[in-house]
Chains A and B, each alone.
Chain A
């Protein structure tokens, strides 16, 4: 079975500062990895995905993430955040070789960008 740990439940930063949201996963098989963002009272929006290939993945809104197999991590980064990036961020993992349809989510990280 897979599991996801998001190490920080809340991350406050100032506008235009860089940010890193940490995600570690556990799996005995190869995985697909995802980051989702959820703005208040909305659904989840796919920020970026790692399926295979290059370990540095670029997503929407200037976010990127790096897949590190040896450290089983998939941290999300943005070099300069905006007030509008304030939201809940979820890391998720799936295991295609296991044939499971399930997406396993972390508990989420609340990013608050202050002026």
Chain B
């Protein structure tokens, strides 16, 4: 089973709202990732957690706050977003760290109004 699940599938939020994206995998993978993808572009890496510790933050604005409560869960907390943050947010996990193949979830389509 190579399934990564993400909730919600769609999210519309105002610029003053606080919301969270959730990602879950039960494959025993110890590396988990958040990506942002704009239309017709490849995914852009935001954060990497390795063994539940934040190992990479790609200079992401503080209005995005990641959290890894345990080895199966990854959250992305959103606060005071801008319209340009509207995108597809993808979660991924990998069985090998570093540099292994990554398995992606279906994504959350975020619209900021």
Whether A32 pairs with B100 at a CB distance below 8 angstroms is yes
Whether B90 pairs with A44 at a CB distance below 8 angstroms is yes
- Nearest Cβ in chain A — how far from B110, in angstroms? 13
Whether A102 pairs with B109 at a CB distance below 8 angstroms is no
Q: Count residues of B near A (Cβ-Cβ below 8 Å).
A: 29
Which residues of B approach A to under 8 Å, CB–CB? Answer: 2, 4, 6, 31, 33, 40-43, 45, 48, 50, 55-56, 90, 92, 96-107, 109
Q: Kindly identify which residue among A44, A49, A94 contacts B43, using a CB–CB cutoff of 8 Å.
A: A44
Which residues of A approach B to under 8 Å, CB–CB? Answer: 32, 34, 36, 41-46, 49, 51, 90, 94-96, 98-103, 105-108
- Nearest Cβ in chain A — how far from B89, in angstroms? 10
Q: Which residue of B lies closest to A36 (CB)?
A: B104
- Nearest Cβ in chain A — how far from B73, in angstroms? 18
